[in-house]
Structure 1
């Protein structure tokens, strides 16, 4: 009886192998939003440069590396530009990797796009659904295997969403990518998604859950520390569902939430969480800046500037994260700071300073120019004495001498800023006039025009369009003498969207304002949800009495990440103190906890800085403690907090940073000399160790000479008096 069974299994496996279809992907080359206006009125979002490479190249490179064999690129807005770019690229000639374009000029949502693809009948099995503005280096193997195994057991398991941890800022309720805080409920055992909500009642910290969710599931985990990567593994039924239900337009707001509340169909969505891998979608200008920095800091390896696509790159990595392409002309007096990318053919004049920025190809930067945290695209001209901070400047822009771009400014293609003109914070400037209410997305953003002039010609006629641009360039416009372009008015509701979704850091006053609101909200007689917590529903427990312990390691990592942003991104120290305060509130920590976490981050960073000897390591520590003393001492007002720092240092010397062990006393004396810790704290620390085991007295004994000096120093001072 056994032999036939084995034979049957073998035949089944062979049949399955013969029936195997290539892994397919649907890449949506349109986000179906207007968040990148005015830029996307002239160029599709997927072709916008991300660290000098079009966004879509990152997505295609990942799909190819992840084992996808056939990609269908769905084009709508500016479809001719997308198809033209792909036809000229090398993607169409890669072995074992097929890229096909599907165009539609009538689709205005992701739902419409998937319905068109269903009608084309090109998807033959499970497929990857992704947007062309996604950057990732994750492996698909495990996620695909989990999806297929679930499908074998349950035909209703039609979709697997990729998620990862990304705790939102507690004051602004947005992630580092500028997206809204996301609440999820997941079955901790099966990883099934049970609840998905992008917003909640922030002021009171309340999350409204349907009672049936708790009754139907014996155990659920609530999370607001997860990021939706917008990478989905789908079964063919997903396309069928979009075709059957024309109310499904948005992938998350309509489709995902619709399935979660649909008790009739019974379809299920599951999650796959990644940890060490990278995945992020560029949803707004804020995430554009964040992902750019991540690429420069090499979190996306191998998708980094010096290891680019098709095995070739003309960009070289230099010290401190500086990338330089070929044929760059830089004055000897010009200073290019760390974490900066310089495109080929760029020229930089005398005494100019550039830091934490991306400069495109063929740019001309004059003398005495200051550029910080900016994204300058191709063929931009910046004349002498200009100042640019945290701005986006598109192709062909001219900024005349002495002009200033304040944080958050976006200059669209070929705009001209007049001499000494100051462009206010968060301004958006374009050769297009801001669309009036009657102008629809289909008329403007989804048109096939390839430039601002084409659009003006469509709207006004060729002669009138020429007159518009000539008038702007020859007279004093709203952008100064000789300026060209229109300043768009702010969005409804004030400046909230501007500062929330900008490449500029969130202003300290906005965080302080949000913190006040959050602290006022804590008067509510309820509880703020922790980053994640498990709810168990049974007859012996009361859901209202659930305890959700904080994760100390998560708090330490959050503080360390905040400190490193201070180091690498030149963020104001006061701004960082506000961020640490918000973490303190979110994790319910004390000032001593904050001091210990900050000190740990500083000492870890000192170890990572190259050093050739114990003496050079001490110099690293001395420099760091001097530079960021204010940040650390902000949490050392009391003796107990200073003792916590000493105890944290002991712990590091014994466990994670043993290189410091022989230098304990030397560094302790440096901290005393810089008034980071006081005499009373050191002596109290010694007293606490009197009853400790001998193993816990190692560093007290090592520091006895220093401690004795502290005890005797006051007596010597009295004798002198």
Structure 2
């Protein structure tokens, strides 16, 4: 037992691991994807060619007491997973001019961190990060031949639990991933996912272009509706979905700066109708969403006004159903009275 305790002490992983420079991360990301990075980028990265070879990415690190990651890995990481992680690290890494890399060293001693860097990492929006993770998981599974929907559900549930998120959080970002696929691939999309996006940007300046954009969304919705429904457990979840659709179209919150939502803004009512027709959202959810917006400030009612006709129709339909139920109840009461008289 004492020996085991000593081993555990020697295998301590509480030490601080310093982040490599931005140049090193960018070069490693390119190599992980099978692409040759520019020579000047490799020189800036300062990889130890003698240790890792000309096509390698890394440094000769001194022996330390840090844990061996593979020892605790359930399965080896796939190349795409490594590349995705590297790309995320590049996106959040400070530039070389911010003092995160000491010129001339290029090795472990040169990869110095800073308090500013730690503060930046702490300020990363958890919702934005979760949105990215859901999207990447969804795209990866979409690209799999003969995908079993149940496997995708398991993956997303694992991600949801790991990030302490709700079912509706997953559903909302699944929907926005489908909406995003109606456009060309973003600049940071992995090459293996680019075939999932539109080949050309939509021409929303014309009626034909808007109809084509809506048609593409409806096709994607028909294919992936079952996975959306798996994560929409009740009316509240469906209301959250509509609120997120608003955010996406307004390019607010985690969608700020994406510049795709505005194309669906004019089509908001049509997207809402498509979700309703596909049984993704029900009458009760649409009316609850409208009721929630009814007492909001005028600037918060933009999309409610766009969907006013649909809301009115559903409200009328709901009222008619209530009247029919009341009539049926009255008839049942009359039948019971007649039976008692007999």
Q: Which bracket does the TM-score occupy, shorter chain normalised?
A: 0.5 to 0.7
1:174-573 superposed matches below 5 A? 175-177=77-79, 233-234=106-107, 268=109, 270=111, 551-570=126-145, 571-573=147-149
Superposition deviation, residue 565 in structure 1: 1.2
SS across alignment from 2:164: coil
User: Per-residue CA shift, 1:326-367, capped at 9, x if unaligned?
Assistant: xxxxxxxxxxxxxxxxxxxxxxxxxxxxxxxxxxxxxxxxxx
The structure in which a higher percent of residues are helix is: 2
Given that 1:159 and 1:270 are in contact with CA atoms closer than 8 Å, whether structure 2 keeps it comes out as no
Distance 1:581 1:663 in 2: 31
Q: Which residue of 1 aligns with 2:176?
A: 600
Give the TM-score normalised by structure 2.
Answer: 0.57
Q: Which residue of 2 aligns with 1:131?
A: 52
Distance 1:573 1:563 in 2: 11
How many residue pairs match? The answer is 234
User: Per-residue CA shift, 1:11-42, capped at 9, x if unaligned?
Assistant: xxxxxxxxxxxxxxxxxxxxxxxxxxxxxxxx
Show structure 2 runs of 5+ residues with no match. 1-30, 63-69, 86-93, 185-197, 204-208, 252-257, 329-342
Q: Which residue of 1 aligns with 2:157?
A: 581
Inter-CA distance 563–129: structure 2 relative to 1 (3 Å threshold): farther
Superposition deviation, residue 573 in structure 1: 2.3
The structure in which a higher percent of residues are strand is: 1
Q: Which has the larger radius of gyration?
A: 1
Superposition deviation, residue 175 in structure 1: 4.0
Choose from 301, 312, 322 the match for 1:708. Answer: 312
Given that 2:172 and 2:241 are in contact with CA atoms closer than 8 Å, whether structure 1 keeps it comes out as yes
Distance 2:38 2:264 in 1: 44
Distance 1:548 1:126 in 2: 30
Inter-CA distance 690–64: structure 2 relative to 1 (3 Å threshold): closer
Give the TM-score normalised by structure 1.
Answer: 0.28
Given that 1:159 and 1:233 are in contact with CA atoms closer than 8 Å, whether structure 2 keeps it comes out as no
Distance 1:711 1:587 in 2: 37
Distance 2:224 2:76 in 1: 27
SS across alignment from 1:606: coil
Superposition deviation, residue 563 in structure 1: 1.3
Distance 2:214 2:164 in 1: 33
Distance 1:703 1:624 in 2: 22
User: Per-residue CA shift, 1:240-297, capped at 9, x if unaligned?
Assistant: xxxxxxxxxxxxxxxx8xxxxxxxxxxx46268xxxxxxxxxxxxxxxxxxxxxxxxx
Does residue 641 of structure 1 match 2:237?
A: yes
Inter-CA distance 573–126: structure 2 relative to 1 (3 Å threshold): closer
Superposition deviation, residue 607 in structure 1: 2.8
User: Per-residue CA shift, 1:583-622, capped at 9, x if unaligned?
Assistant: 1111111112111111111111123324450001111110
User: Per-residue CA shift, 1:194-218, capped at 9, x if unaligned?
Assistant: xxxxxxxxxxxxxxxxxxxxxxxxx
Query: CA RMSD of the aligned region, Å?
Result: 4.4
Show structure 1 runs of 5+ residues with no match. 1-54, 69-124, 137-157, 161-167, 182-187, 193-231, 235-255, 257-267, 273-531, 535-546
Given that 1:563 and 1:576 are in contact with CA atoms closer than 8 Å, whether structure 2 keeps it comes out as yes
Distance 2:235 2:292 in 1: 13
